[in-house]
Amino acid sequence: MKSPEKQRSIRPLSIKRPARGGKPYFERNGVIKSLMIAFLIIFLWLIYTSNSAKDIPMPDIASFMQSNTTVTSLAERGRSDLKRFYSLDDEQTDGYLFYKAVSPMSVNEMLIIKAPSADQAADFAEAAMAHLDSQKTVFGSYGTDQMALLNAASVGSKGKYVYYFCGPEADLWYDSFMSLI
Amino acid sequence: MNFSSVLFVFCFLPVILLLYYLIPGKRAKDIILLCASLVFYAFGQPVYMILMLFSMLFNYFMAADLNANPDQAKKTASLVFTIVVNLFILGFFKYYGFLLDSLGGIFRVSISHPELSLPIGLSFYTFRNMSYVIDVYKGKTGPAPNLMVFAVYSTMFPIMTAGPIVRYADIQEQLMHRTVNLSGIGMGLELFIKGLAKKVILADNLALLFAEVSASAERTVLFTWLGLIAYTLEIYLDFSGYSDMAIGLGKMFGFDFAKNFDYPYTSRSVTEFWRRWHISLGSWFRDYVYIPLGGNRVSVPAHVRNILIVWALTGLWHGASWNFVLWGIYYGLLLLFEKYVLDRMPYSLPVWSRRLLTIFAVMIGWVFFSHTGFGDSFRFIGNLFGIGAAGAANGAALYYLKSNLILILLGIVTATPYPQKWYTQLVRRIPYAAVAADIILLIISVAFMVSGSYTPFMYQQF
């Protein structure tokens, strides 16, 4: 416990006026403000250009991705598996494409979800991240090959879309999908 | 990360609490809490953590800047600049699409624009940080003594995603000197479990019932009422459940946050309802918008204008959509009606009928809140009274009523003060039984959490 004298000595301000001869206080603060605003504008511009996506109907995305045989070599999955692996109801989505290897020892998997809004996409992306974490927990102690694929998996959201790409072709799937949206 | 997720309850929270309690020293605890908040936030949206940190640094700097400025005019200019920047960030993520769509609607052109996801908790932390700068400007509080103290306040994970909008002035003392002890953990855990149970046992299952009703093309009167009752209970249990969890987490870390809900569905007027519902938001708009506009100490036309501005903004705060504006204005009009008509009547209705009328008005309000299209809202309201409905009731509606009756009754009872009264009596008479009740509630909640779908908190999207 601090003594009362010490408690009183806490200065309620961290920005101090400069000593004589230094740069005028408010001029210096003006520079800091300008830098902060410049940073904000650059950040928002980067977010705008990198996080937005075109509005492509889900059937178009499905036919585009299904033209890749490495996707269709996996088994197509339905609503029950979406709920089982991601705890998501298909009714909450605006469509999805889900492929997963038949073998439970394989981590190869491709999921694309179109959410009703970009906000919901962020929520779904959280569910996809949770699935990736649970896969890592399952294979962490013995599946060296699986762990390598899981560590290289692409999981995230862009605009209204959520993606989970895991497998030897994950980078290719990711690039194809990104080129489409 | 969601409070009602297995990851949060069984991994994140225990690890952070353990570190927080084992490592001595206030500064070390601050660092742990700050790191925990950053990890919590980064788990969902790592990119937007930069924005959250920017908001924290910017507002900290601006508060210190305007506090140090002796010139009142420059001080005011600094405050205006701070508010403009904060509102610009909020507008960029939340309202620019709405603005473009609205302009497109007016000029009958389609303005395409990419959709950006809303940073989690943006509205909440922006309002929290703005309240700090305004309070420093008004002299209600001094600026934070150092960046660490403000960073802990601004990024605090228990109140990050959906409030309550805790003000710096209210927890300033706790930020400097707080006591953490087992009693705080106990009380915090109790609140957290109650909130979790409200969310996963009741709210999430009521949400399924409402989803069935709103997705149905043909609704009977009974089915529509069932849906509206489900939504009314869901939104309360979801949001008050979250608030309980946030306040409980605060207690575990040595903070006392004021309550955000006070059994709003037992209110006897709409005015009272808004004193009991989302208290921190209502008081924010009262102190930072309504009173600066002149409050009620102005002429009647100016007062009407003030009320409508505040309530349109309250609606807009909830989401960038016209239905929220309509919902806000609906409440503005109800409050004006109560003030200028009902309060001047020579007699008043019995309490039970006032309660009934209030809950009815609130439920109609939820129709506007839950439907983005005006047409859908009015169709739903029409169905409630048989207009356009597929009859009074049918087999499907009766089936839904029977299969959800217990859930609805439990929801209604939970929305009243009685369960808390019973629990308090139990704690007084048989403390061990109260602990057992909490443990049972936690076990049931976990069972629902594991088997249920991923359902984020409703107010997280705002």
Total number of domains in chain A: 2
How does residue B461 score in pLDDT terms, banded at 50, 70 and 90? Answer: low
Task: Mark whether A69 and A96 lie in a shared domain.
Answer: yes
A75 beta partners: A100
**Does A13 sit within 8 Å of B64, measured CB to CB?**
yes
Task: Mark whether A92 and A172 lie in a shared domain.
Answer: yes
pLDDT at B460: 62
pLDDT at A27: 66
pLDDT at B169: 92
Task: Mark whether A76 and A141 lie in a shared domain.
Answer: yes
pLDDT at A26: 59
Q: Which residue of A has its CA nearest to B94?
A: A119
Task: Mark whether A121 and A46 lie in a shared domain.
Answer: no
- The type of residue at B16 is I
**Does B68 sit within 8 Å of A15, measured CB to CB?**
yes
Tell me, yes or no, if B58 comes closer than 8 A to chain A by beta carbon.
yes
**Does B211 sit within 8 Å of A91, measured CB to CB?**
yes
**A5 found inside a domain:** no
Q: Which residue of A has its CA nearest to B91?
A: A44
For the ranges A118-122, B124-128, B294-298, B304-308, which has the lowest average pLDDT? A118-122
Task: Mark whether A108 and A93 lie in a shared domain.
Answer: yes
Range 66-105 of A in CB contact (< 8 A) with B: 83, 86-89, 91-92
pLDDT at A17 over 70: no
pLDDT in tens, B127-139: 999 999 999 999 9
pLDDT in tens, B66-103: 888 888 888 999 999 999 999 999 998 888 878 887 88
| Residues A53-76, mean pLDDT to the nearest whole number | 85
Task: Mark whether A75 and A34 lie in a shared domain.
Answer: no
Q: How far is B47 from chain A (nearest CA, A)?
A: 8
Q: How many CB atoms lie within 10 A of CB B289?
A: 15
Task: Mark whether A66 and A121 lie in a shared domain.
Answer: yes
Task: Mark whether A38 and A89 lie in a shared domain.
Answer: no
H or E, element range at A118 = helix A118-139
Q: Which residues of B are catalytic?
A: 318
Q: Which residue of A has its CA nearest to B52?
A: A40
Q: Which residue of B has its CA nearest to A127?
A: B454
**Residue boundaries of the structural domains of chain B:** 6-178, 185-461
Tell me, yes or no, if A26 comes closer than 8 A to chain B by beta carbon.
yes
| Residues B412-425, mean pLDDT to the nearest whole number | 93
Residues of A within 8 A of B117 (CB-CB) are 51, 118-119, 121-122, 157, 159
For the ranges A87-91, A154-158, B238-242, B297-301, which has the lowest average pLDDT? A87-91
**Does B114 sit within 8 Å of A52, measured CB to CB?**
yes
Question: Residue by residue, what is the 3-state secondary structure of chain B?
Answer: CCCCCHHHHHHHHHHHHHHHHHCCCHHHHHHHHHHHHHHHHHHHCHHHHHHHHHHHHHHHHHHHHHHHCCCHHHHHHHHHHHHHHHHHHHHHHHCHHHHHHHHHHHHCCCCCCCCCCCCCCHHHHHHHHHHHHHHHHHCCCCCCCCHHHHHHHHHCHHHCCCCCCCCHHHHHHHHHCCCCCHHHHHHHHHHHHHHHHHHHHHHHHHHHHHHHHHHCCCCCHHHHHHHHHHHHHHHHHHHHHHHHHHHHHHHHCCCCCCCCCCCHHHCCCHHHHHHHCCHHHHHHHHHHHHHHHCCCCCCHHHHHHHHHHHHHHHHHHHCCCHHHHHHHHHHHHHHHHHHHCHHHCCCCCCHHHHHHHHHHHHHHHHHHHHCCCHHHHHHHHHHHCCCCCCCCCCHHHHHHHHHHHHHHHHHHHHCCCHHHHHHHHHHHHCHHHHHHHHHHHHHHHHHHHHHCCCCCCHHHHC
pLDDT at A13: 46
**Does A133 sit within 8 Å of B7, measured CB to CB?**
yes
**Does A126 sit within 8 Å of B456, measured CB to CB?**
yes
How does residue B395 score in pLDDT terms, banded at 50, 70 and 90? Answer: confident
Nearest CB to A52 within list B51, B116, B456: B116
pLDDT at B126 over 70: yes
Task: Mark whether A96 and A69 lie in a shared domain.
Answer: yes
Task: Mark whether A64 and A143 lie in a shared domain.
Answer: yes
More confident residue, B209 or A50: B209
Q: Which residues contact A13 (CB under 8 A, 6 or more apart)?
A: B64, B67, B68, B142, B143, B145
Domain around A85: 58-180
pLDDT at A10: 44
pLDDT at B458 over 80: no
pLDDT at B13: 93
Angle subtended by helix axes B431-451 and B182-197, to nearest 10 = 50
Looking only at the bridges linking them, the beta strands covering A154-158 and A161-166 are antiparallel
| Residues A9-36, mean pLDDT to the nearest whole number | 62
Average pLDDT, chain B: 90
Task: Mark whether A80 and A162 lie in a shared domain.
Answer: yes
pLDDT in tens, B215-268: 777 889 999 999 999 999 999 999 999 999 999 999 999 999 999 999 999 999
**Does A13 sit within 8 Å of B453, measured CB to CB?**
no
% of chain B surpassing 90 pLDDT: 64
**A1 found inside a domain:** no
Residues of A within 8 A of B211 (CB-CB) are 91
Tell me, yes or no, if A142 comes closer than 8 A to chain B by beta carbon.
no
Nearest CB to A32 within list B5, B61, B453: B61
pLDDT in tens, B165-205: 999 999 999 999 888 888 889 999 999 999 999 999 999 99
**Does B118 sit within 8 Å of A159, measured CB to CB?**
no
**A138 found inside a domain:** yes
pLDDT at A4: 46
pLDDT at B456: 64
Task: Mark whether A75 and A105 lie in a shared domain.
Answer: yes
